[in-house]
Structure 1
């Protein structure tokens, strides 16, 4: 089913992927919670701040990204934000998206990143993307394993990063 009324939260067994609003992204960049924000210890990380900046820049250039934006990873049990995940922008001319994600150190190793990435990939597929790409630093074996566990496959490397991708079967 396509999302026509803007992004909706993506739910998994243990997580809620909450679509960022402009206000939330601005607070992440400023690193100052407000309103109903519930941030876990160490959130936002530098990567979350960079992701929120990218989200705001994309919003300024293209308007709402719809479902192809940034999401805050929240634990369903308590609503606390423990990381971020999202798309680097809308699908390209070949209908491929690029994904990125990260978690605060205190929740790494619990399977949250794989769970969140699977949900994000399912969203991309449901929205008509042809596939998804991602990368991880050569030394970041944990992130490489996350992409593999979520169904992405090794697609090459350079002197800095390993590349992963998954092609979605055509939908009827």
Structure 2
């Protein structure tokens, strides 16, 4: 599976060896990691990805992606699916950026691309959540087209859904 490319970013599907390096905290051989990457969430996502690969198989295209800047190729965060679509065609997503890259629109750009990608592959809805105090993440999801669907004591829930799962939009733009 190839990279997903946006105007400013490359969403690179994580391989098993890349996930193992993230979990171990071993700098990649190409020196692609921006200072501060990987974060705790990236390590947790890489562990979940490795567990999935070991227990079922590589979940791509519904796996993890490194968010890389196009201009220098450095990894500045991650996003991805918590697993393949369920029986209703729904997936759950997560994402994060290193602190120095927040507030630049990268997370919304990456999430919009991932939503288009999911829709083009037959997904009917995408869900996510953010802690109540994580207003920036809530704004990212709304900027990408997700809408609030509820909340509990800890988080606010978001979703985007399509009545049909086909699109002519190019998920790589």
Q: Fold-level match, TM-score > 0.5?
A: yes
- Pick the aligned partner of 1:26 from 14, 20, 34: 20
> C-alpha separation between the residues in 1 aligned to 2:6 and 2:125?
21
Instruction: Find the counterpart in structure 1 of residue 141 from structure 2.
Output: 147
> C-alpha separation between the residues in 1 aligned to 2:108 and 2:163?
20
- Unaligned runs of 5+ residues in structure 2 are 168-173
Q: CA deviation at 1:56?
A: 0.6
Q: TM-score, normalised by structure 1?
A: 0.94
> C-alpha separation between the residues in 2 aligned to 1:66 and 1:28?
18
Q: Confirm or deny that 1:39 pairs with 2:25.
A: no
Q: Confirm or deny that 1:76 pairs with 2:70.
A: yes
> C-alpha separation between the residues in 1 aligned to 2:54 and 2:87?
20
Q: CA deviation at 1:35?
A: 2.0
- Unaligned runs of 5+ residues in structure 1 are 1-6
Q: What is the Cα-based RMSD across aligned positions, in Å?
A: 1.0
Number of aligned positions between the proteins: 166
> C-alpha separation between the residues in 2 aligned to 1:50 and 1:37?
21
- Pick the aligned partner of 1:157 from 138, 142, 151: 151
> C-alpha separation between the residues in 2 aligned to 1:38 and 1:56?
21
SS in 2 for 1:17: strand
Instruction: Find the counterpart in structure 2 of residue 166 from structure 1.
Output: 160
Distance 1:37 1:128, change over 3 A: farther
Q: CA deviation at 1:36?
A: 2.1
Displacement over 4 Å in runs of 4+: none
Q: Confirm or deny that 1:113 pairs with 2:107.
A: yes
